[in-house]
Amino acid sequence: MTTGIDFEGARIYAIPMRARFRGITVREGMLLEGPAGWGEFCPFSDYDDTVSAGWLSTTIEQCAIGWPPAVRDRIPINCTVPAVGPERAYEITANSGCRTAKIKVADHPESLPEDLARVEAVRAALGRDGAIRVDANGVWDTDTAVSHIRQLDKAAGGLEYVEQPCRTIEELAIVRRAVEVRIAADESIRRADDPLRVAVAGAADVAVIKCTPLGGVRRSLRVAEAAGLPCVVSSALETSVGLAAQVALAAALPELDFACGLGTLSLFESDLVSGPGSLRAVDGFLPVPRTPPAPDPSLLATYELVEPEQAGWWRDRLARVRAVHGADRSG
């Protein structure tokens, strides 16, 4: 259902990041308005049109349909610590108000000493009762994963879990058998040919669910049920407009045993939403919005991407992905 969505009037944004994250220093995307409110379309530039069609499904659900009922009114979150030095890692954690921290590791092949120092700094900021999780984004082989996880677990004084240490389900299963730390699957679920059928239960202890690339809140709830594991909802690096869909998913899950990775606005120079609608954590929790947040016109004007070539690239991309999305749904 796309009736009433103003595709032609989509607004394109470009917001600088406070630190390099996922290899980018500027986050770009599009905001669209429909009868149910605003939605966000922001697949990363290296994602092809077929993959990006899932992101468009989430946008359409938010703009035209809305979300299923919530079963909680606030979401516990972790702070996110990018690949920064230990002093900055300590500062981010100490100022976050969160009792759980997710730390990016394996930023480059020789990163282990930096990763250990970052983990130790976060532990110092959290104290002994805080939870630490690390995310390797699937770059390790199994031997490296086992070795590094053991060292990171020691430096942390105990890790809550390690997210996607290796690329494949088979590798995750090998690592899970070799270490005493929980393993969480992220890319293995959302990049599977069929996320509803991926056999992740024997390879992981936790399922990381990202609503935005999976195609919306309702589909993500089915993926979470099919995974059969405790779930963590995590951001795909959106502004408050898109982040609200992730919060809606976390709010609708029947059970939520872990803090969620939804505190990513701290990585942005600015949000596009102001006031109470901006989804910034208070004391480690995010409120569940009743309606999709709307962009502040002045912020949207400040961060609107107006460079003709790049703006044209985004509009061409949206048109292509709409065609793919329509073909997928009609077939």
pLDDT digits (tens, 9 = 90+) for 99-119: 999 999 999 999 999 999 999
pLDDT at residue number 331: 34
% of the chain residues with pLDDT over 90 = 86
Q: Which residues share a beta bridge with 260? A: 77
Kindly list the structural domains of the chain, giving each domain's residue range(s) and its CATH number in brackets, ordered by start.
11-67+297-330 (3.30.390.10), 74-287 (3.20.20.120)
Rounded mean pLDDT of 142-148? 98
Q: Which residue has the higher pLDDT, 30 or 276?
A: 30
pLDDT at residue number 88: 96
For the stretch 220-249, pLDDT in tens is: 999 999 999 999 999 999 999 999 999 999
For the stretch 69-81, pLDDT in tens is: 999 999 999 999 9
Strands 37-41 and 74-76, bridge-based pairing: unpaired
pLDDT at residue number 192: 84
Give the Cβ contact number of residue 1 at 10 Å.
12
Report, as residue numbers or ranges, the catalytic residues.
Answer: 104, 210
pLDDT at residue number 193: 83
Rounded mean pLDDT of 245-257? 97
Strands 11-21 and 24-34, bridge-based pairing: antiparallel
pLDDT at residue number 198: 85
Mean pLDDT of the chain: 94
Q: Which of 146-155, 186-195, 214-223 shows the lowest per-residue confidence on average (mean pLDDT)? A: 186-195
Q: Which of 172, 98, 163 is nearest to 133 (CA)?
A: 163
Q: Is the pLDDT of residue 282 over 90?
A: no
pLDDT at residue number 330: 38
For the stretch 118-128, pLDDT in tens is: 999 999 999 99
Q: Is the pLDDT of residue 15 over 90?
A: yes
Q: Which of 139-148, 190-199, 260-269, 295-304 shows the lowest per-residue confidence on average (mean pLDDT)? A: 190-199
Confidence of residue 6 (pLDDT cuts 50, 70, 90): very high
Residue 186 marked ligand-binding: yes
Rounded mean pLDDT of 251-279? 95
Q: Is the pLDDT of residue 1 over 60?
A: no
% of the chain residues with pLDDT over 70 = 98
pLDDT at residue number 327: 61
Q: Count how many Cα atoms sit within 13 Å of the Cα of residue 265 in the half-sphere of its side chain.
A: 22
Rounded mean pLDDT of 41-56? 96
Give the Cβ contact number of residue 44 at 10 Å.
17
Taking phi first (over 0 means left), then psi (-120 to 50 degrees means alpha), and beta for anything else, what does residue 22 get? left
Rounded mean pLDDT of 48-77? 95
